[in-house]
Chain A
Amino acid sequence: MIAALPPPPSPPAVSAALTETHVRVTSGFRGARIVLYGAVFDPARRPSDVVVIVRGPQQPVRIARKTRVAGIWVNSRPVVFQGAPGFYMTASTRPLDTIAGFGTLRRLGAGIDHLAIDAPLEQRIETRYGVRDVVVSRLGADYLDWRRAVVRLKARAGLYDADSHGVRFVDNGLFRAEIDLPTGAPIGRYRAEIILFQDGQPVSRRVREMTVEKAGAERALYLFAHRRPWFYGLASVIIALSAGWAASVAFRRS
């Protein structure tokens, strides 16, 4: 008889699921809370960290800075930033910078500071001091202020969030995290990335998708307004005028 060899240790893996994959925006929509459940499989039971990154649809951001001109606050020329997701949230078991190193986080785009938010229209490539292909931003030294403002304004609208203790282990290897969508969450496809870290390295990764879409009357009206804008305008005027006329007739009788 041959002694059964112990099976080779299987690599650690992470698995996850969302409680809801279709979020319907109807007239009663006031945001949604989606729960993400997952499990870590690791026979070796090495210390594990889980990071959840949720990204909403990409949309360029137009932002302006108020400046004082002759005593009046006016907007500067608006600057378009690309690469800022319409929704971005991270949840992790510990603060991200204690889980992995700078380079790893940057490569994964994990954390708001590591998002590739930039203003391509403001950039040009030139040769400076003999060095070729230097990216120069027309925003100059204020560039970081602008980028920080994009993040700050999004965070204020509840669209950007980083919860350094948002992933909680509820049982042996089983974890949960919550995704809070505000009322202003953009419509479109969302990607939730669940990454398992061990010793500062990503060892397993899962991607789950969900969609946020307008439903019911909201959807019908939105489509009507965008597909038949002129008829939509006429319809709203007719409603307004007939309501006004009806009220005057009703009050005349009374």
Chain B
Amino acid sequence: MDFYLPIAEVSVNAPLLVALGAAVGFISGLFGIGGGFLMTPVLVFLGIPPVVAVASEANHVAASSMSSVVSYGRRRAVDFRMGGVLAAGGAIGSLIGVELFRVLRLLGQADLVVSLSYLVFLGVIGGLMLTESLGAILRRRRGEGPKPRRDRRPPWLYGLPLKLRFPRSRLYISVIPPIALGVFVGVLSAIMGVGGGFILVPAMVYILRMPAGVVVGTSLFQIIITTSLTCVLQAGRNQTVDIVLATLLLIGGVLGAQLGAKASARFRAEELRALLGLIVLLVGLRMGLGLFVTPDEPFIMMSGAG
């Protein structure tokens, strides 16, 4: 059953897209991430113009995250105040990101920046996650206890002004680091077509030192706000959101996310992190490969006359 997408102007196989949405949704629910970093490359591979893939994927991430965040909220695992502060930064970030993406498209360098961002961010974060979690698994196998967590918080986090209390995270810190983090993730969300959970989650754990229990829920909450805004901005400024594509993806996505969230209870946290790290690393390397391999066709057509 093929569907003609009105904005992307290509014909796609509808059941395949629903299945893909479900698979990525499952991973999203399993690991508590948006899953955009997986979906956007797959969509581009299927022949959907990258600008449309990036914009429509923001919509799909918003749906999957919404599907998971409700259950996290019920378990009181969302720090709404921290999420709100991050999202305020995220809003500024996506405004910048959407404009930046527009300029990069005009310069013809959007592809390069997207590939480089995938290679650098996914490669580094995937690699770090994999080594850290493999270390934890090995230590457990050898019967050693977990590495004592350094609870000393970096002094710069406390030295900054504009302090705010985050009761659910048991933190009393300046709002500047979370806002800066939000801006950074917002820019990435607009450029890479991702929610940014793969950066937010480690940053919340290792930089903001939030308790592990609220990290995933809060990250999902902030992702919903940032991706919703990105989606509206992309539609308003660039007219690149394909509602039919997004709907096909999110039908599978929201169901897959629920199943994934149920399945996640069966695995150990470090095993999940190792698996996620491996996936992130592989996607990053695959996207970066195109930068080094000699292309078959040295010329490429750029979408839109600018």
Chain A interface residues (CB < 8 Å from chain B): 25-30, 59-66, 71-78, 80, 146, 149-150, 152-153, 183-184, 214, 217-219, 221-222, 225-226, 229-230, 232-237, 239-241, 243-249, 251-252
B305/A184 in contact, CB under 8 A:
no
A237/B11 in contact, CB under 8 A:
no
Roughly how many angstroms separate A226 CA and B235 CA in the complex, as a whole number?
Answer: 9
User: Quick one: closest A residue to B290, CB to CB?
Assistant: A73
* Contact A240/B59 with A230-B232, A230-B235 known, Cβ cut-off 8 Å: yes
Q: What residues of B have a CB within 8 angstroms of the CB of A76 in the complex?
A: 108
Q: What residues of B have a CB within 8 angstroms of the CB of A241 in the complex?
A: 62-63, 66, 224, 228
Interface size class, chain B: 35 or more
B302/A229 in contact, CB under 8 A:
no
Closest Cβ of chain B: how far from A180's Cβ, in Å?
15
Q: What residues of A have a CB within 8 angstroms of the CB of B243 in the complex?
A: 221, 225, 232, 235-236, 239
Stretch among B76-84, B184-192, B251-259 lining the A interface: B251-259
- Which one, A26, A60, A225, A251, contacts B4 given CB within 8 A? A26
Q: What residues of A have a CB within 8 angstroms of the CB of B231 in the complex?
A: 233, 236-237, 240
Can you list 21 A-B pairs, Cβ within 8 angstroms, ordered by A? A29-B4, A61-B305, A62-B108, A62-B303, A63-B300, A71-B292, A75-B112, A149-B298, A153-B300, A230-B232, A230-B236, A233-B236, A235-B243, A239-B243, A240-B62, A240-B231, A241-B62, A243-B67, A243-B250, A243-B254, A244-B66
Top 4 A-B residue pairs of the complex, sorted by shortest distance between their CB atoms: A244-B66, A233-B235, A247-B254, A149-B299
User: Which of chain B's residues 100-136 have a Cβ closer than 8 Å to chain A?
Assistant: 107-109, 111-112
- Which one, A29, A78, A225, A247, contacts B255 given CB within 8 A? A247
B108/A236 in contact, CB under 8 A:
no
Q: What residues of A have a CB within 8 angstroms of the CB of B219 in the complex?
A: none
